[in-house]
Amino acid sequence: MPAKKRGYHHGNLRQALVEAALTLIEEKGPTGFTLSEAAKQAGVTPAAVYRHFDGRDALIAEAARQGYEIFADLMEHAYAKGQPSALASFEATGRAYLAFARRFPGHYISMFESGISINRSPELAHVANRALGVLDKAANDLMAELPPERRPPARMVSAHVWAMSHGVVELFARGSPGTKSPFPPEDLLESGIGVYLRGLGLIRSDS
């Protein structure tokens, strides 16, 4: 999705700077811009930035926090939409990951590619754990359908699907050079999750 023009709205300078940073992150990456550029994008002086953020990392961390808020809402909606089927909810959360990365690239980069730790602040850690906890919940529901002797840890299953979703996004969904896939990213993710779940015996091999 092309970056939208974002600008300063009187009385909301902090958010205007976040929006400016998101535009620059989409265009140049998380380390490809300066605070002065963010200020210029927002239409204010560089000195104005420091009323709200003590550096570029703090600005990116706020973009990441807002991204995790959006991400958590999308994941929770996907999970609820799949109910009461544990399988449908599990598959929906994987698709929601890919949809989020496509729709909110600046937030996605801030969250997963900027080097900002989710433990940078309690607020960031809380919302990140809320978002990623949806995957754990979906995996836990699904693993409950397996007999105990064939049941891998739910946290491991959610980590596998997170890694698969993240890999599809990084390699094929965001236009990485030299990694164009002959298949749509959505098909790659769906088929990959299908193979994984068949291996666990949660989907019949002929379905």
- What is the C-alpha to C-alpha distance for residues 65 and 68, in angstroms, rounded to an integer? 5
- What is the C-alpha to C-alpha distance for residues 142 and 136, in angstroms, rounded to an integer? 10
Same domain flag for 157 and 125: yes
- What is the C-alpha to C-alpha distance for residues 182 and 186, in angstroms, rounded to an integer? 12
DSSP letter at 150 equals G
Contact between residue 123 and residue 62 where contact means Cβ atoms under 8 Å apart: no
Domain that holds residue 41: 1-54
The structure tokens listed for 98 are 């890919």
Domain-embedded: residue 80: yes
Domain-embedded: residue 205: no
pLDDT in tens, 15-64: 999 999 999 999 999 989 988 899 998 888 888 888 889 889 999 999 99
Same domain flag for 168 and 118: yes
Domain-embedded: residue 190: yes
- The predicted model scores a pTM of 0.85
Provide the number of structural domains found in the chain.
2
Domain-embedded: residue 206: no
pLDDT surpassing 70 at residue 121: yes
